[in-house]
Amino acid sequence: MKERILNYMKQIDDMLENPPEGIDYENEIKKHLVQIGFFMHERLIHLIVTVLFAVMTLAAIFFAVAAPSIGLLLLIVALMCLLVPYIMHYYLLENGVQKMYKQYDEMLRRKEGRQ
């Protein structure tokens, strides 16, 4: 997913920097909105998963403070190993979708002829 969103944003940036002759911004905007929808859905799913892992990690930490054990310590380490990449991926999705909103605004501006 990381590669897909980065490639797509680059493709749109390239299109906006060097618009092809006779570009149909209406059609490009429609396609862009579909992609934004896909990435927003992905962002929502990753937010839910990230929050779930964060809550499980905090619960494990609280249990470890109350009743320390090696098993809980291993569980905390395992959860942290998963939580950190989830946060990094969610960060990419969130910032990517925000950038796509700006690209959308630029396409609208060009469609309306306010270059």
Where in the chain are the domains?
2-6+31-106
Tell me the backbone φ, ψ of residue 15, rounded to 5 degrees.
-65, -40
Q: Which residues of the chain have pLDDT under 70?
A: 114-115
Q: What was the pLDDT predicted at 115?
A: 53
Cα end-to-end distance, the chain, whole Å: 32
Q: What was the pLDDT predicted at 2?
A: 87
Q: How far apart are CA 30 and CA 56, in angstroms?
A: 39
Q: What was the pLDDT predicted at 114?
A: 62
- Here the tokens at position 45 are 């799913």
